[in-house]
Amino acid sequence: MMNTPLCRLLEIEYPILQGGMAWISDASLAAAVSEGGGLGVISAVNTNAEAVRAEIRKAKGLTARPFGVNIMLMSPNASEIAAMVIEEKVPVVTTGAGLPAKYMAAWREAGVKVIPVVASVATAKMAARGGACAVIAEGGESGGHVGDLTTMTLVPQVCGALEIPVIAAGGIGDGRGLAAALMLGAAGVQLGTRFLLADECTVHENYKEKIIKARDIDTMSTGKRLGHPVRALKNPFMQEFLRQEYDPSVSDKDLAEAGAGALRLAAKEGDLQNGCFMAGQAAGMIHKRQAAAEIIREIFEEARIILGGAAQWLK
Ligand code: TUI
């Protein structure tokens, strides 16, 4: 077991959150992570409030431990999902791609613990002032929608600016990453890519195989022109998207349309040509399938040894 301020805040055994991954993080994965002592998170990005409610109820049937829901604020269903999580008494909400200012009062009143993902110090400070109980500082090594800064530079700066617990995300794939994050001042970590290979993760087999085969240099980010770059594994879809991004004859609208639906094709259909296989740079260090509980246990054991030996360099 570990005991960081985040463990106490969220009532979890290990300070390890599972990232909310659109089309991927369902009740099966979230419940398995929570049962393993971390915080599982159901993604509410790709669907409407009733479908998310069904996943929440399914997760409640699989675990009595706390779990969270991730809301992507750019999603057209964000406000109905924001209301539904209160009805379902979801203990923790994480948010991405914006700040949840307009929902904060209702969530706080209902006792929901709100943990926004941030990619800069300014956004982190706004989140803390707005009543967040912790923030996830996500570096550009992460998969999906990414910010500019690296985890190594973002996390200590956010930790230096806030009083509330900071969770490090982006580029963390094992116990070395957890130990390093704690050294940077974080109270915990969030991992997405590693949990793609959890036995309980229902993503398409082709997605899992691509992660297993990925090398360090096999992700790329595209879409900066649209204001929200996305990191994913290199494949024909990503190469073509990059080509269109640099083609001035392609309008922003056409470019955005070229991206729509590609994540679903990857996650649900395993479409190797036309799918967008979002993944972080940690994909290169993730090679095996395991139960979610075993992933958490292994990360903790690795970190325990590293942290225990950390004083050896001191004279
Ligand atoms: O949200 C993510 N990662 C995601 S969302 C997603 S779904 C998607 N699908 C297709 C295209 C685009 C997205 C896939 N991956 N991570 C959390 C995150 N939030 N990263 C960066 C931010 C962020 C950015 C700006 C948070 C707050 C923010 O505030 C803006 C401001 O005004 O400062």
Structure tokens at 95: 């948010």
At residue 280, φ and ψ (nearest 5 deg) are -90, 175
How many other CB atoms are there within 10 angstroms of residue 93's CB atom? 25
Q: How confident is the model at residue 1 (pLDDT cuts 50, 70, 90)?
A: confident
- The structure tokens listed for 300 are 């903790």
CA of 50 to the centre of ligand 1 (A): 23
The structure tokens 């649209």 sit at 226
Give yes or no for residue 313 having a pLDDT over 90.
no
Which pLDDT does position 280 carry in this prediction?
Answer: 98
Average per-residue pLDDT for the chain:
96
* Residue whose CA lies nearest to ligand 1 atom number 29: 98
Listing DSSP states for 259-288 in one string gives HTTHHHIIIII--TTT---B--GGGGG---
CA dist 106 and 123 (Å) reads 20
Provide the CA 114 distance to its chain's centre, in angstroms.
Answer: 14
Q: Is the pLDDT of residue 47 over 90?
A: no
Band the pLDDT of 259: cuts 50, 70, 90. Answer: confident
Mutation choice for ligand 1 from 145, 148, 222, CB with most ligand atoms inside 8 A: 145
The pLDDT, as a whole number, for residue 293 is 98
What's the pLDDT tens digit per position in 235-258? 999 999 999 999 999 999 999 988
Between the CA of 146 and the centroid of ligand 1 the distance, in Å, is 6
13-23 pLDDT, tens per residue?
999 999 999 99
Asked if residue 52 lies in contact with residue 67, where contact means CB atoms within 8 angstroms, the answer is no
Please state the atom number of ligand 1 nearest to the C-alpha of residue 46.
Answer: 7
User: Which residue's CA is the closest to the ligand 1 atom numbered 14?
Assistant: 144
Cα 57 to averaged position of ligand 1 atoms, centre (Å):
26
Tens of pLDDT, residues 208-241 = 999 999 999 999 999 999 998 999 999 999 999 9
* Amino acid in the structure at residue 64: A
**How remote is the CA of residue 97 from the centroid of ligand 1, in Å?**
3
How do residues 168-180 score in pLDDT, each as one tens digit?
999 999 999 999 9
Q: Whose CA is nearest to atom 15 of ligand 1?
A: 144
Distance 306 CA to ligand 1 centre (A): 32
Ligand 1 site residues, Cβ closer than 6 angstroms: 22, 45, 72, 96-99, 117-119, 123, 138, 144-145, 147, 228, 230, 263, 278
Closest C-alpha among 150, 158, 205 to residue 185:
158
Alpha carbons 111 and 47: distance in angstroms, whole number: 24
CA 221 to centroid of ligand 1, rounded, Å: 13
pLDDT of the residue at 260: 83
- Reply yes or no on whether the pLDDT at 137 is more than 90: yes
Q: How confident is the model at residue 45 (pLDDT cuts 50, 70, 90)?
A: confident
**Cα separation, 277 vs 271, whole angstroms:** 9
